[in-house]
Amino acid sequence: MKKSKFLIYIFIALLGFGSFAQTYEVPFQNLKILNGNTHAHSIFSYSHGSHLKKSANFIKGDKVMFTDSLFVSRPKNKELKENWDLFQGLPEKHYEEAKNANFNFYCVTDHSQEEAFFPDSKNNTAWAVAQKQAEMASNSDFTAFMGVEHSENDSNNGRGHFNVIGSSTYINAIRPGIDIPYFYNWLKENPKNLKTGNPVVVTFNHPDKKQFNNWAYRDDEITEIITLLEIINSKKSKYEGFVNALDKGWKVSPVAGIDNHNYTEISKAESRTFVLAENNSPKAILNAMRKRRTYATYDKNLECRYSVNDSIMGSSIPKSETYNLQLYINDPDIDDKTDKISKIDIITREGKIIKSIEPKSLKHENYFNVSIENKDIDTYFFVQVWDNTKTKKVEISKPVAWLAPIWILK
């Protein structure tokens, strides 16, 4: 892809010597910045969530009808909250609420082991309904995805959850013999959607530092399929898991998931996954995710992009003596004095901060030109962004966004 540059000239009178032009570049201006959610659960994720409450009054085998012939079983020792179906919702209700909240894309990722999804996707009515609802909700301004969360909870070969986005099939995570190595082999056999040919994208969900058997079973083939990691889950940071996955050789880019089990949280959510895509379509978004052109933020409209030696964020680039970063970071909420960018960090292996830059004056729109030396880099680096958010006049000392890494080829 050719690089497109948007040049901004600022003319400044300087001590009577006349004026000069300083040039800033917005990297890859031809790519659209799209915001969305990569982790959500609809009525098909019935086994746990905010629609349930603990109860000693459980009748084994009790069923609840919620649409035509589709049903699920009540989990053991839990019962439904009043009006549970009015806020959990079918996928189509999630997409409707996401559109109203100005999301550009939205992924429903219900648990693959739910009773509603048994038997498997080839003959499953609930899966067919969910896929159709995603298709009908999509248009040129909004893309809906129906995926699954593959939850490995009972294996001696590692435990952890994954989102599978864009696939036409799924496997039941709790069936005998299905562990993480089995799942990885299944992904290698199904790297594309069988109907559309679009790539399948997979993310590590809400990871602890040493989850997924301390990031085991990695090889080059699976590394090109699992390209994302959920560094923000709801309001929680999973930064340590992100850094450790990178240190173990996984080439993952950060995303944010609301992980909502209802649609009522959608309009309230501030965290977002952003992708840099050619357009708003399933193919373009999935390709951008596969190419790791993402970032995760607690700010729902923070615009970020950067390049290194003329390569876009998420790229693997040749080794060089010097790496020249061109960053564009903008918060369009210009009326909010607490949404100004206060600092950026360049971070490498084990979370080591190579360089921090604090603007002399806090602004909403920022252009940074940063150079770092190869001697300071160990296989990868990424950008961390801070703003001056304040609550009750007390500054919150934590980052607001993490941008896709750059990897250095050997």
- What is the distance between the alpha carbons of residues 120 and 167, in angstroms, rounded to a whole number? 13
Residue 1 in 3-state DSSP? coil
250 vs 1, more confident = 250
DSSP lists the bridge partners of residue 189 as none
**Residue 217, CB-side half-sphere exposure with 13 Å CA sphere:** 17
The structure tokens 């309001």 sit at 235
- What is the distance between the alpha carbons of residues 260 and 43, in angstroms, rounded to a whole number? 11
Report the share of the chain in percent with pLDDT over 90: 66
- What is the distance between the alpha carbons of residues 99 and 147, in angstroms, rounded to a whole number? 18
- What is the distance between the alpha carbons of residues 254 and 234, in angstroms, rounded to a whole number? 14
Q: Tokens representing 348?
A: 């490498």
pLDDT, tens digit, for every residue of 6-25?
333 332 223 333 333 445 67
Average pLDDT over residues 159-178: 94
Average pLDDT over residues 327-334: 89
Q: Tokens representing 322?
A: 């010097």
Report the share of the chain in percent with pLDDT over 70: 82
Q: Please state which of the ranges 349-363, 370-384, 390-404 shows the lowest mean pLDDT.
A: 390-404
Q: Please state which of the ranges 67-76, 81-90, 226-235, 361-370 shows the lowest mean pLDDT.
A: 67-76
Domains and CATH numbers, the chain: 32-300 (3.20.20.140), 302-410 (2.60.40.1930)
pLDDT confidence of residue 35 = 98
- What is the distance between the alpha carbons of residues 41 and 81, in angstroms, rounded to a whole number? 17
Q: Please state which of the ranges 5-19, 74-88, 270-284, 327-341 shows the lowest mean pLDDT.
A: 5-19
- What is the distance between the alpha carbons of residues 381 and 324, in angstroms, rounded to a whole number? 12
Q: Distance of alpha carbon 71 from its chain centroid, rounded?
A: 30
Average pLDDT over residues 369-376: 93
pLDDT confidence of residue 82 = 61
Please say if the pLDDT value at position 319 is more than 70: yes
Please say if the pLDDT value at position 402 is more than 90: yes
pTM of the model as a whole: 0.87
83 vs 136, more confident = 136
Q: Tokens representing 5?
A: 């540059």
Q: Tokens representing 167?
A: 């696939």
Residue 126: closest CA among 86, 167, 91: 91
pLDDT confidence of residue 5 = 41
Please say if the pLDDT value at position 157 is more than 60: yes
Please say if the pLDDT value at position 393 is more than 60: no
Please say if the pLDDT value at position 96 is more than 50: yes
Please say if the pLDDT value at position 179 is more than 70: yes
Residue 182 in 3-state DSSP? helix
What phi, psi does 5 have (nearest 5°)? -120, 140
Q: Tokens representing 401?
A: 């966004």
262 vs 184, more confident = 184
Residue 163: closest CA among 84, 273, 248: 273
Place 84 in a pLDDT band, splitting at 50, 70 and 90: low
- What is the distance between the alpha carbons of residues 177 and 174, in angstroms, rounded to a whole number? 8
Please say if the pLDDT value at position 80 is more than 50: yes
pLDDT confidence of residue 50 = 67
Residue 307: closest CA among 28, 23, 4, 6: 28
pLDDT confidence of residue 190 = 94
Average pLDDT over residues 178-182: 96
pLDDT, tens digit, for every residue of 188-240?
999 999 889 999 999 999 999 999 999 999 999 999 999 999 999 998 999 99
- What is the distance between the alpha carbons of residues 35 and 306, in angstroms, rounded to a whole number? 17
Q: Which is it for strands 294-297 and 401-403: parallel, antiparallel or unpaired?
A: antiparallel
Between vectors from CA 144 to CA 141 and to CA 146, what angle results, nearest 5°? Answer: 170
Residue 8 in 3-state DSSP? strand
Cβ 380 vs Cβ 317: under 8 Å: no
